[in-house]
Amino acid sequence: MSGLSHQTLSIQVAKANAGELPDMPIEPSWILEGTPEARGTILVQSADKLISSGLWSCTTGKFRWEFGWDEFVQVLEGEVFISEQGGDTHHLQPGDIAHFPIGLKTEWHVPTFVKKVFTLRTPEPFEL
Residue 2 has pLDDT above 70, yes or no: no
Alpha helices in the chain (DSSP H): none
- Go through 11-22 and write b for each residue having 16 or more CB atoms within 10 A of its CB, e for each that does not: eeeeeeeeeeee
Q: How far, in whole angstroms, is CA 40 from its chain's centroid?
A: 8
Query: Candidates 3.40.1710.10, 3.30.590.10, 2.60.120.10, 2.60.40.1180; correct CATH number of 28-121?
Result: 2.60.120.10
Residue 115 has pLDDT above 70, yes or no: yes
Strand partners, 42: 54
Strand partners, 58: 38, 114
The pLDDT confidence band at residue 127, using thresholds 50, 70 and 90, is: confident
Strand partners, 33: 62
Q: Which pLDDT belongs to residue 19?
A: 77
Under 8 Å between Cβ of 112 and 78: yes
The pLDDT confidence band at residue 1, using thresholds 50, 70 and 90, is: very low
Averaged pLDDT for residues 76-81: 98
The whole-angstrom separation of Cα 71 and Cα 42 is: 13
Tens of pLDDT, residue by residue over 40-69, are 999 999 999 999 999 999 999 999 999 999
Domain residues of the chain, as ranges? 28-121
Whether the model pTM is above 0.85: yes
Averaged pLDDT for residues 108-125: 97
CB proximity list for 116: less than 8 A, separation 6 or greater: 55, 56, 57, 73, 74, 75, 76
